A and B are shown apart, each in its own frame.
Chain A
Amino acid sequence: EIVMTQSPATLSVSPGERATLSCRASQSVSSNLAWYQQRPGQAPRLLIYVASTRATGIPARFSGSGSGTEFALTISSLQSEDFAVYYCQQYNDWPYSFGQGTKLEIK
């Protein structure tokens, strides 16, 4: 089973600043990685797929990078609605697995 590890667990950033979230896979997942955003009380929403492609309707301030075992999600200028929990997910091998999440909070 592929274990996904996200860091940090909590990230405190001021609005307008840049945030970078990390995700590491226990073995290579190629580019078969997605990022999801989950706001309080809401279902997860797909942000990024195949490591770096934004999903429909996702603002350009969100970008994904990486391949193999190391990945990052960058939000270039944080807006109030971006403070949420972010999950990475690998779909390279069964069972599909999620990271434990990074909570992005207002500094």
Chain B
Amino acid sequence: QVQLVESGGGVVQPGKSLRISCAASGFTFSPYSMHWVRQAPGKGLEWVAVISYNGINKYYADSVRGRFTISRDNSKDTLYLQMNSLRAADTALYYCARDNLGMGPAFDIWGQGTMVTVSS
């Protein structure tokens, strides 16, 4: 079935780095732009970053620009988020989501999320 599965989350110290991944299956990954969205514990959704289908165009939220890098490997059907200089405020459940141009482009498929905790 169509699904996105995130991995790579964990506990990391402030100032350190972490890379999380999102593996796609059940659909052709390469034509779709992909996003990362995060949710701090007990809080709402915050859009983080997007990458175009071919990996050329990337946009970031102000809160992560310069520290986070989104990338993808279409040969592996996988999306990545490299997170550097992590802060306590980056603690959240990180979701990847598919951007469906035929729907607006709304986010029609979401993963279950991977938890990132920044703490000393």
Q: How many residues does chain A have at the interface if contact means C-beta atoms less than 8 Å apart?
A: 25
A49 and B104 form a contact (CB under 8 A): yes
In the complex where A43-B95, A99-B44 touch, is A94 in contact with B59 (Cβ < 8 A)? yes
B107 located at the interface, meaning its Cβ lies under 8 Å from any Cβ of chain A in the complex? yes
Contacting A87 at CB < 8 Å: which of B45, B59, B108?
B45
Given A43-B111, A45-B110, A98-B44, 4 more A-B residue pairs with CB atoms under 8 Å apart are A42-B112, A89-B45, A89-B107, A95-B59
Going nearest first, the 5 A-B pairs with the smallest beta carbon separation are A49-B106, A34-B106, A43-B110, A49-B104, A49-B103
Q: How many angstroms from the CA of A45 to the CA of B62 in the assembled complex?
A: 25
What's the minimum C-beta distance from B64 to chain A, rounded to whole angstroms?
A: 10
Interface residues of B (CB under 8 A from A): 35, 37, 44-47, 50, 59-62, 95, 103-108, 110-113
Q: How many angstroms from the CA of A89 to the CA of B112 in the assembled complex?
A: 19
A55 located at the interface, meaning its Cβ lies under 8 Å from any Cβ of chain B in the complex? yes
B104 and A98 form a contact (CB under 8 A): no
Residues of B close to A55: CB separation below 8 A: 103, 106, 108
Instruction: Name the residue in A32, A34, A38, A46 with the highest tally of chain B Cβ atoms < 10 Å from its Cβ.
Output: A46
In the complex where A91-B106, A96-B47, A101-B44 touch, is A43 in contact with B113 (Cβ < 8 A)? yes
Q: List 19 A-B residue pairs with CB atoms under 8 Å apart, sorted by A's residue number.
A: A1-B62, A34-B103, A34-B106, A36-B45, A42-B112, A44-B37, A44-B95, A44-B110, A49-B103, A55-B106, A55-B108, A91-B106, A95-B47, A95-B60, A95-B62, A96-B50, A98-B44, A98-B47, A101-B44
Q: How many angstroms from the CA of A32 to the CA of B50 in the assembled complex?
A: 17
Q: How many angstroms from the CA of A38 to the CA of B59 in the assembled complex?
A: 25
